[in-house]
Amino acid sequence: MNQSVLYLECNSGISGDMTVAALLDLGADRQVLLDALESLPLTGYSVEIKDVYKSGLRACDFNVILEHDNHDHDMEYLHGHEHAHVHAEDSDMQNSLHSHAHAADGSHTPLTHAHAHESRNLRDITEIINAGKLSGRARELALRIFRILAEAEASVHGKSVDEIHFHEVGAVDSIVDIVAAAVCLDNLAPARVVVSALTDGTGQIRCQHGLIPVPVPAVTAIAEQNGLTLKLTDIEGELVTPTGAAIAAALQSDALSSDIQQQGQTALPHFFQNHSAAGLPDEFCIRKTGLGAGKRDYATTGVLRAMLLEPQHQTDNSDRSSTNLLHDDDSADTILSLESNIDDCTGEALSFTMQELFAHGALDVFYVPIYMKKNRPAYLLRVLCRAEDQAVLESIIFKNTTTIGIRAQEMQRTKLPRQVVSLDTPWGKADVKCCTHGGETRCYPENDSVSELARRNQTGFPEMYHQIQEYASKTLMNGFVSIRF
């Protein structure tokens, strides 16, 4: 049973980009994130992910690049010490930007022109997020974060939530930060999340409306409305951004439970349960650490540290001479099987449907050839999914196939413990899925890694697969691994 705890240590504050960077450094799948961002009907930006150094520490940097500088990293301007600059968001100009998205290899894919700093209300943002190919959990968390921001802004400006038009937090870069944080959290899927007190600075900082005090009003409103703990320091600067505070607030189970109950849902997505209402385990093992770099230079370390922890009792009976990272406790859960008989749909439509189902959270999708009445050849479409994704996946099936009915039934599933291990092999970096059963560890190299290394080393696929598998087995026995959850 998964009991991993994600701990966000906010001693240098928290922001949206710091959160995304820390989760990527912790092991969130970069390609899953890029695919999710590319699916949004949003342009006017590019994404850069790289390693940087903060206070001598290597950290991950997640950067949303707009064509026009918004002075976010101009420290003199931000804190009111320089008046020669003209802030782009202080004018009503709408800038047409050429947008491109970065692929995993750093290449650029041209998109279209858009307005990077146009105002959007909560309904606009909800439509953008709902249009993306996100899992049900990621979509729910992203919407929850923006709801928290809207409620805080409404409180600060004395308006209703529907009247609030987002500027800084509604701009392209913040939408990307929030969706990216939700996607990465969903990808890591910890059992619990614990967030430390949010350390903030003092002084004042410039926003669209002029100079405002730190902590900024939106942050204090979020803290007040969601019971966050703030820790103030004498550092001059904004360490906690509204987006960062909203992410921390969204991970609290009480607020999220209330929202879901109001929407008539019966169960929380699994990694939203029992969040920061409970503290850290008394004893734990650190399985992985990730550092997310902040953009501004203040008198602090400037990183958000994320740690994936495992309560110590899980490893008390493990073999200390082996990896101590793989366990023999099979876990069980309940999933749904959705199925439909289809005899009048093209192969192209079925192929597209499969891709859409996987993109929106399906655990597995497959077709079985069958014969229906009058011996008509047909397909049995079967989709395995979590209960919270049922409505979205059924809508995709109805929209993209000719079926007029879908059957659903609960299924009990037993899963072997599995983790994806990232190994530096003699042939290059390879991802290997590792499972345990009955004290035996089984290693299965990922197809993409085997294919890439086979081409790079000019060898056959079977030979490369065997070499990676053998190397992984020996390495695991010696305990030298880097786990990606």
Q: Write the pLDDT tens digit of every residue in 140-196.
A: 999 999 999 889 988 888 888 877 776 544 478 889 999 999 999 999 988 889 999
pLDDT (tens digit per residue) in 216-269: 999 999 999 988 999 999 998 899 999 999 999 998 643 333 343 344 433 334
Q: What percent of the chain shows pLDDT beyond 90?
A: 45
469 and 339 share one domain: no
* In the predicted structure, residue 275 carries a pLDDT above the cut 60: no
**Across 409-421, average pLDDT:** 83
d(CA 62, CA 351): 33
Reported for 250-254, long-range contacts at CB under 8 A and 24+ positions apart, including other chains, are 250/141, 250/144, 250/145, 250/148, 251/185, 251/193, 251/195, 251/275, 251/276, 252/226, 252/227, 252/276, 252/277, 253/277, 254/227
Higher pLDDT, 49 or 327: 49
Number of domains, the chain: 3
45 and 128 share one domain: yes
For residue 290 the two structure tokens come to 């990730």
> Quick one: pLDDT at residue 369?
93
pLDDT confidence bin for 64, thresholds 50/70/90: very high
Domain end, chosen from 399, 415, 431, is at 415
192 and 269 share one domain: yes
For residue 383 the two structure tokens come to 């989709």
Minimum mean pLDDT range among 84-88, 135-139, 154-158: 84-88
The number of angstroms, rounded, from the C-alpha of 10 to the middle of its chain's C-alpha atoms is 18
Region for residue 272 given its phi and psi (left: phi exceeds 0; alpha: psi -120 to 50; beta: otherwise): alpha
304 and 339 share one domain: no
Minimum mean pLDDT range among 51-60, 213-222, 251-260, 331-340: 251-260
366 and 274 share one domain: no
Indicate whether 78 belongs to any domain.
yes
* In the predicted structure, residue 277 carries a pLDDT above the cut 90: no
* Structure-derived torsion over alpha carbons of residues 216, 218, 224, 227, reported in degrees to the nearest 10: -100
**Across 19-26, average pLDDT:** 96
306 and 370 share one domain: no
pLDDT confidence bin for 297, thresholds 50/70/90: confident
CATH of the domain at 344: 3.30.70.1380
User: Side chain identity at 442, as an amino acid letter?
Assistant: R
Indicate whether 326 belongs to any domain.
no
152 and 290 share one domain: yes
Domain end, chosen from 395, 415, 435, is at 415
Indicate whether 116 belongs to any domain.
yes
pTM exceeds 0.75 for this model: no
> Quick one: pLDDT at residue 69?
52
Residue 387's domain spans which residues? 331-415
Indicate whether 316 belongs to any domain.
no
Indicate whether 260 belongs to any domain.
yes
Residue 190: other Cβ atoms inside 10 A: 21
Indicate whether 153 belongs to any domain.
yes
335 and 187 share one domain: no
Minimum mean pLDDT range among 4-18, 311-325, 332-346: 311-325
147 and 294 share one domain: yes
295 and 336 share one domain: no
424 and 407 share one domain: no
Indicate whether 351 belongs to any domain.
yes
Which residues have a Cβ under 8 Å from the Cβ of 266 and sit 6 or more positions away? none
Q: What percent of the chain shows pLDDT beyond 70?
A: 75
d(CA 482, CA 478): 12
Which alpha helices (H) appear in 158-266, and where do they start and end?
172-188, 217-226, 242-250, 253-262
* In the predicted structure, residue 110 carries a pLDDT above the cut 70: no
Quick one: which of 469, 473, 453 has its CA closest to 461?
453
* In the predicted structure, residue 58 carries a pLDDT above the cut 60: yes
Rg (CA), the chain: 24
Domain end, chosen from 415, 435, 466, is at 415
Indicate whether 464 belongs to any domain.
yes
> Quick one: pLDDT at residue 67?
66
162 and 300 share one domain: yes
